[in-house]
Amino acid sequence: MDANLGSQMGPARRENLVERLGQLVESGRVTEAEATRLRAAAGPAEFDVVVRDISMRHVGAELSAALEAGQLTQPEAGAYLERIKAGEHPRSLRAHLRRLRSQSPGDGGALAGSRAVVGAGGGVGGGHQHDSGP
């Protein structure tokens, strides 16, 4: 599968995402400004840049929480962020973040409440990369 997030979102997925923007804004997964940027995107490449930016915001928050909790090293977090910046959405990152969310039973994990826009199960983008890590 292509490592570029844009190659994962065809016209039908982009259209579906735009139709669901109201719900995504209401749930807090996308800001109003991000929704405006997605609606105004001139083409697939620009749309994919906005999706990548949204992913960076969400993943960055989750990685910061994992770093603070000592569940991830700075080099690991940096490697994941660089991959997201490059347009990838690695399966290994999604799996790692899910594990971190569930590690602390008392509080739901270091990342409890965090919800990546491009998490497992779809969300914005929802592309699946096949890889072994950062």
Domain assignment of residue 27, yes or no:
yes
Region 105-129: mean pLDDT is 38
Domain count, the chain: 1
Domain contains 95: yes
pLDDT at residue 8 in the model: 59
- Across 117-122, average pLDDT: 33
The reply to whether 118 falls in a domain is no
99 pLDDT above the threshold of 50 = yes
Q: Does residue 130 lie in a domain region? A: no
Higher pLDDT pick, 114 / 29: 29
Which structural domain, as residue segments, surrounds residue 42? 5-102
> Does a structural domain hold residue 16?
yes
pLDDT for position 21: 95
Label each residue of the chain as H, E or C. Answer: CCCCHHHHCCHHHHHHHHHCHHHHHHHCCCCHHHHHHHHHCCCHHHHHHHHHHHHHHHHHHHHHHHHHCCCCCHHHHHHHHHHHHCCCCEHHHHHHHHHHHHCCCCCCCCCCCCCCCCCCCCCCCCCCECCCCC
Q: Is residue 134 part of a domain?
A: no
Does the pLDDT of residue 71 top 80, yes or no? yes
